[in-house]
Amino acid sequence: MIRMPHKVFTDLAIWMIGLGLLMGIIFPFFVVMMGLPANQVLTPWFFVATMTAGFIVGGANIWLARKVVGGRLHILSNRMRLVETNLRACVQSGNEKKCMSEACNVPVDSDDEIGESGRAFNYLVESLALAHKTDAAVRSFTEMLASHLELDILVSQSLQKLLQHTEASAGAILIAAEGEMKIVSSHGIRTPDSLCNSDHVRRAMQTGTRVIVALPEDVAVEGILTDFRPREVLVDPVLYKGVPLGAIILASAKGFKDDAKARLDLFGNGMALAFNNALTHDRLQKLAALDSLTSIYNRRFGMARLGEEFSRAIRVNSPLGVMMFDIDHFKMVNDTYGHLAGDRVLVQVAKTAKLALRKGDILMRYGGEEFLAIFPAASKENALALGERLRRMVQDTSVLDGDQIICVTISIGVTSYPELEVTDELDLVKRADEALYKAKETGRNKVMMG
């Protein structure tokens, strides 16, 4: 192993002064060879004089070496100490500016060994700064991944971070759900939905490897519709245990640097794990909240939502409409066409009700063939109009059972807070139920107000 000898300048001093003394001894013989009389030159006094001169020149050389070389080495060692102090401060404070290479570089303007050492030092500082930048990026990305469980938020924040850390100008994240690709978040892409059918995305998903599309400046590529002309487009599959969960698409106007691609590799595993957790969370949420037959809210979740809406209505002093409806003579449908056909009727009625409702309304399966709908900000009249609309829609809809057509009607009870003074949301439901009972009693296929 090559090692730095200790006391370089002491060794150098011994060599230089030794060489000076040697020159002092040789010099008189050289003078004799030049023609001066030996009896005048080869005297003790002459030897003492030339050896003293050799000693002084050796000493002067070592002083100069210390001054010139030592001064530069001093600059290097000072910068090294500065880098070390900055690194420590940077690790403690997380302020990566302290690690910026410009702050710690040595100005180099020579081509000799000292200049070479300075350049090597500058490369080292740059590598350290890059390693720190990567470390900080991975840390902040991991923190973000760990702080969200909702897929939409997680994906949109991941995209923001990816754009920032890869210096991409546009991008999108697609997630595979129920057999098809869906855009969950995009930035700077005019028609992101077109990416779902992109061949590049399909190839990345099928092969499980990164696809890079390098684009000559004058070619616009179909399917990648950014607001600028990208030089390079990168499609990365998001793989969890080898299974593709989705794809990341990033487009750069300048092309991706190697360190940006390496950073993307580092983010990959954590991102796939977080996406998988969010997808599982989403599935569990749906399982816990939805009725398995009709895919609308189940009673437990729907009633919790009603409780929230009722509290909000009181707080903001806004009306809250409630509608309870029930399929007429449903037992007969089951008895005539069978239980499976009855199930299909239930699904169809739920679908029709979803169509009749507005955004923000809540629909739940309250019991067997009984449904409850909640209309935030709806007065009794609004709820009555909505009920009438739904009644007509169900009446006009049919379900096919082989060559038989099944038609059903519904009876509806509506009510609204605060027109009806109630103590709590259960009271409101009770009054809607009573109105529904009245509708049944007075002939069915009608809407009654509670």
Residue among 84, 343, 424, 441 that touches ligand GTP (CB under 6 A): 343
Residue 141 Cβ, how far from ligand GTP at the closest point, in Å? 46
Active site residue: 369, 370, 425, 441, which one?
369
Is position 84 an interface residue for ligand GTP (rule: CB under 6 A)? no
CA distance 205 to 268: 14
CA distance 248 to 61: 65
Is position 267 an interface residue for ligand GTP (rule: CB under 6 A)? no
Residues 349-368 that bind ligand GTP (CB under 6 A): 368
Residues 122-161 that bind ligand GTP (CB under 6 A): none
CA distance 195 to 249: 9
Residue among 410, 440, 446, 447 that touches ligand GTP (CB under 6 A): 440
Is position 117 an interface residue for ligand GTP (rule: CB under 6 A)? no
| Token pair in block for residue 287 | 């399982």
Is 369 assigned a catalytic role?
Answer: yes
Given the DSSP bridges, would you call strands 447-449 and 410-417 parallel, antiparallel or unpaired? Answer: parallel
CA distance 183 to 201: 12
Is position 339 an interface residue for ligand GTP (rule: CB under 6 A)? yes
Q: Contact region for ligand GTP (CB under 6 A) — 114-122, 228-236, 323-331, 396-404?
A: 323-331
| Token pair in block for residue 383 | 């709820």
| Residue with smaller CB distance to ligand GTP, 245 or 399 | 399
Is position 433 an interface residue for ligand GTP (rule: CB under 6 A)? no
Residue among 330, 366, 371, 417 that touches ligand GTP (CB under 6 A): 330
CA distance 57 to 52: 9
Cis geometry, peptide bond prior to residue 418 (ω within 30 degrees of 0): yes
Amino acid letter, residue 185 = S
- DSSP letter for each residue of 299-365: HHHHHHHHHHHHHHHHHTT--EEEEEEEETTHHHHHHHH-HHHHHHHHHHHHHHHHHHSPTT-EEEE
Q: Contact region for ligand GTP (CB under 6 A) — 172-180, 224-232, 237-245, 328-336?
A: 328-336
Is position 369 an interface residue for ligand GTP (rule: CB under 6 A)? yes
Catalytic sites, residue numbers: 369
Contacting residues toward ligand GTP, per CB under 6 A = 293, 326-331, 334, 339, 342-343, 346, 368-369, 440, 444
